Homo-oligomer: A and B are copies of this chain.
Amino acid sequence: MHVIKVRSREREEMIEITDEVRRRLKESAAREEEGVCVLFVQHTTAGLTVNENADPDVQSDMLHALRTLVPQHGMDFRHNEENSDAHIKTSLTGTSVTVPFQNGELLLGRWQGIFLCEFDGGRERQVVMTIIEEKGKG
């Protein structure tokens, strides 16, 4: 089990953590091993997602669309911390991602990266990483 710490600067931000996950997987997973890597964010106003890491416009378009769907103000939210939008976006993206691996390498597609989605930053965030072996392997 690993804990990955992420520092956000903006209220809303997509922060790629693929390299960090890759590095820790290499440390832990033996050669010829197969399985899945589970990432879980321990917060209620930040999510995790897998999406394109080539063009940063994809990330800003994603935040823009989520902001359009669930604006911070104007939806008559009752929670008095003015971050209900962030809680909702967290449930829309989800708090965990599961990515398969083989021979110590994440089996991500060519354009895929793993992102922490900050919806109420800047803050220190924590992601728990668990490595699970496929049956009959390792």
Contacts and interface: CB of A to CB of B under 8 A. Distances in A.
> Could you say how many copies of this chain the assembly holds?
3
A75 B84 CA distance: 23
25 contacts: A1-B100, A28-B135, A36-B38, A36-B132, A40-B99, A40-B107, A41-B109, A42-B108, A43-B111, A44-B58, A49-B94, A50-B95, A51-B91, A55-B79, A57-B84, A58-B84, A61-B84, A64-B76, A65-B88, A66-B88, A68-B75, A69-B70, A94-B97, A100-B128, A132-B135
Interface residues of A, number: 68
Interface of A: 1, 28-29, 33-36, 38, 40-44, 49-52, 55, 57-58, 60-62, 64-66, 68-70, 75-81, 84-85, 87-88, 90-100, 102, 107-112, 126, 128, 130-136, 138
Contact of A36 (B49, B78, B130): B130
A107 B42 contact: yes
A77 B56 CA distance: 12
Contact of A97 (B58, B96, B100): B96
A132 to B, nearest CB: 6
Contacts of A34: 1, 130
Contact of A42 (B58, B112, B138): B112
Contact of A102 (B1, B44, B85): B1
A69 to B, nearest CB: 6
